[in-house]
Amino acid sequence: MRKYQISGEQKDVKILTLDDDVSIGAALQSYFRVSGYHVDVETDPFRAIERIRKEHYDILLLDFLMTPICGDKVVEEIRKFNTSLFIILLTGHKSMAPPIKTIRELNIQGYYEKSDRFDQLELLVESCVKSIGQINLIRAYKTDLEAVNGSLVEANRKLQSDYDEIVKIMRSTVDARDIYTRGHSDRVAILAERISAAMNRDPEATKRIKTTGLFHDIGKLKIPDQILLKEGALTPEDRTVIQQHPLYAIEIVSNSDKFTDMLPGILQHHERFDGSGYPNRLPGNKICEDARIISVADSFDAMTSFRRYRVNMTVEQARAEILSKSGTQFDPAVVKIFVKLLDGFDKIESEAEWAATYGDRPKK
């Protein structure tokens, strides 16, 4: 397995730069080699495509305006045979970049406006390297799972141990990105599990939704730090990148067959009951039940948790907000059950249990 590092003299990461301006390619190569990356340079789009087909590269730094074909066409060709390559689009002018819809469809991780400084570009590259490292870690665990042999008892024990370890690693990795959202996935998982149980769903579905809740934001590993950790308001372009995180989550989680039944809940947890959500604008019952439950749990915890860009709501305010969006953002049936649970928390939980899960009990 490759070792990925953000610091150190040498990084086992291969970058290909494609720019028909020889001087820019040389400048990028010189800059990133100093930072410890292995960098190759191409000026011809067709040669670059064939090179990626035959050799392994982790990241492509791609100029948009080139001849005889532009960067979006290069990506179209690459995505026919390589869906895992991380691609950062370089543009001389932001107005000349392809539309957001195209960037999303081609799974381009980000774009950078060319300047005489590459520090912002290096941040994008480092974010890609972090994601690559996590994806390869999960793939390694998948290989370990597939290689388990011996007695059925020992095999099952090892599978469960590895499964629990993967869950722990992925959850803690997301928490480590942002101190202000630490514990969010754990709380969403617990709330979703309790809603599911109160809806009298079968035990397997309730067990599944807890792990789905733990993984629902795992795709944020692929969101650049300068967007995910931004202090001020997000721009429309920032929001478009953020809205990719359910798709990124599927890329990560689908590396293990153990999580296949959780994929719909993870992918659809930002769909809205009225069909105005993302990524696929699914309405009503076309959204899977797991996702409809997680949507309520996720929103409640986000509303009642402090964020760097806003103060948190009280429980009463969050309750009113969720009720006001019943039938538009949220499934009314899920809201009805959740509100009953919320109003009954004082009766069904001890002070110690609440404190261990949520911290200080909110005052009504």
**At 142, phi and psi to the nearest 5?**
-60, -40
Task: Name the residue with tokens 């696929």.
Answer: 280
Whether the Cβ atoms of residue 209 and residue 193 lie closer than 8 Å to each other:
yes
Residue 220: active-site member: yes
Catalytic hit among 11, 130, 210, 220: 220
The residues pairing with 62 across neighbouring beta strands, listed in sequence order, are 18, 89
SS3 of 324, please? Answer: helix
Sign of the torsion formed by the C-alpha atoms of 197, 202, 207 and 213: negative
In sequence order, which residues have a C-beta less than 8 Å from that of residue 213 and are 6 or more positions away?
185, 188, 189, 190, 191, 192, 193, 294, 297, 298
Element (H, E) at 41: strand 38-42
Sort 261 into a burial class: Cβ within 10 Å, 0-12 / 13-18 / 19+. middle
Ordered DSSP codes for 75-134 = HHHHHTT-SS-EEEEEESSGGGSPPHHHHHHTT--EEEE--S--HHHHHHHHHHHHHHHH
Cα 342 from Cα 354, distance rounded (Å): 12
Cβ atoms < 10 Å from Cβ of 61: 26
Catalytic positions, written as ranges: 220
